Amino acid sequence: MSVGLCVFLLIFIHWQDEKSYEQWNPDRENIYLVENFNASFGTMPVSSYPEIFESKEMFSEIEDATIFNDWGKKKISFGNNSAYVSAGATVSSFFNFFPFEKVAGSFKNALSDVNKVALSEETAKLLFADDYLNSIGKTVKLEVDDKSYIVTAVYKKPLGKTVIKPDFVFMNPFMENSKTQWTSYSYYGFFKIKPGSDIKVLEEKISKKNAVRR
């Protein structure tokens, strides 16, 4: 009985910890990570680009879609200041899914093209020091592709537990090559589902569509 109770408590503690993630997001009940099943690899938490965005256009249950990939720590610099911080590659709908608190700039077109970047407040302070609130419109350089990017927004990272906590985000540079690659499972994809939608029915419709595509 003691062993059984210990196992139960461990499972319960783990379950409680899992439930504590993303509580900061007011839309968390309607946001779903898209998974795929492959006979060779089993269940995968990644998707192809067309699967995510063509599904949004085809199925009315899907209100919005986005992708996000954590690229690990990358160097970002402004003048003589630089920092190695976590990079997030995403698309323009990112802030519709993850409503970080805005500090400066605007989220509306923050990631509307491949020349823009949004910074966390911590990163902005590392690069611009006390003048970080005036960083909007200034140019930073990323080691990802040795290109210059215009700062469009500064945001606060969530205080609660979350797996989405990039120090800066920019538009994924490989999207154009991925738009027709249905079997290239390269992206963490998310759907925002309209309240009241039948998730099981939607899963079946997407699975049938993908089976035909493949």
pLDDT of 205 reads 87
Place of tokens 């590659």: 89
Q: What is the mean pLDDT for each group of 10 consecutive residues in the chain (214 residues)?
A: 44 40 85 85 87 93 95 94 95 94 96 95 97 96 89 93 92 83 88 94 83 58
pLDDT of 17 reads 40
pLDDT of 177 reads 80
Q: Minimal CA–CA distance to 156: which of 118, 116, 114?
A: 118
CA pseudo-torsion sign 159, 99, 108, 96: positive
pLDDT of 91 reads 94
- Residue 25 CA to residue 94 CA, distance in Å, equals 13
Q: Minimal CA–CA distance to 169: which of 80, 66, 44?
A: 66
Q: Tokens in use for 197? A: 């939608």
- Residue 42 CA to residue 56 CA, distance in Å, equals 24
